Amino acid sequence: MTGSFADGALRLAGLAPRLTGWTPESFWNATPAELAAILDPEAGGATAPLTRGEMDILLERDRDDRIP
């Protein structure tokens, strides 16, 4: 394998926004599991997209920093 980890990370940082719509900050703050889940939903264990109701719960939790 040629190149360093940093070289690979830099390439991924450039590709991630185009592939995922993430900002560079979102990429660098993501865990490897989050990146794998967004690029290959089966790798992250996701079975179905969030429903609108599930998304609303998460948005409410984030806004109030509490669990409904």
- Kindly state the helix (H) or strand (E) to which residue 36 belongs, with its residue range: helix 32-39
In this model, does residue 68 exceed pLDDT 60? no
Both tokens assigned to 63 = 């806004």
In this model, does residue 1 exceed pLDDT 70? no
pLDDT at site 51? 83
Domain segments of the chain as ranges: 5-64
Tell me the residue ranges of DSSP E strands in 1-68: none
For 15-43, how does the pLDDT look when each residue is reduced to its tens digit (9 = 90+)?
777 878 888 788 788 888 787 777 776 65
pLDDT at site 60? 84
pLDDT at site 28? 82
pLDDT at site 46? 53
* Calpha distance 27→25 (Å, rounded): 5
